């Protein structure tokens, strides 16, 4: 794997983690984190050869956990789009 191909998945995962903080309630943050993580994980799965479904599941888990385990004071990106 080339260096640029290895950097892209890491950058996408970092972006998913950073964006997982939408909303103020634990549920909102977990839901937005899971959605963003699934999208990023899908891209990572395609690039790395892991697989689309596996990447999406891993990304959703990581993003959802990040959203649930952080609070609004740690990461605050405003209200989620569904509110």
pLDDT for position 61: 93
Give the chain's domain count. 1
Is residue 9 one of the residues assigned to a domain?
A: yes
Contact, 30 vs 3, CB < 8 A? no
Residue with tokens 């309630």: 25
Is residue 47 one of the residues assigned to a domain?
A: yes
Is residue 10 one of the residues assigned to a domain?
A: yes
d(CA 23, CA 34): 13
Provide the residue range defining the domain that includes 65. Answer: 3-69
- pLDDT tens digits for the chain (83 residues)? 555 555 666 666 666 555 555 667 888 888 888 888 888 888 888 888 888 899 899 999 998 898 888 877 766 566 665 55
């Amino acid at each position: 794997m080339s260096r640029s191909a290895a950097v892209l998945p890491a950058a996408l995962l970092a972006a998913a983690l950073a964006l997982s903080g939408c909303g103020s309630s634990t549920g909102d943050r977990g839901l937005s984190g899971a959605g963003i993580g699934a999208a990023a994980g899908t891209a990572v799965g395609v690039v790395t050869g892991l697989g689309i479904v596996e990447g999406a599941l891993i990304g959703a888990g990581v993003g959802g956990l990040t959203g649930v385990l952080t609070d609004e004071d740690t990461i605050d990106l405003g209200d989620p789009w569904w509110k």
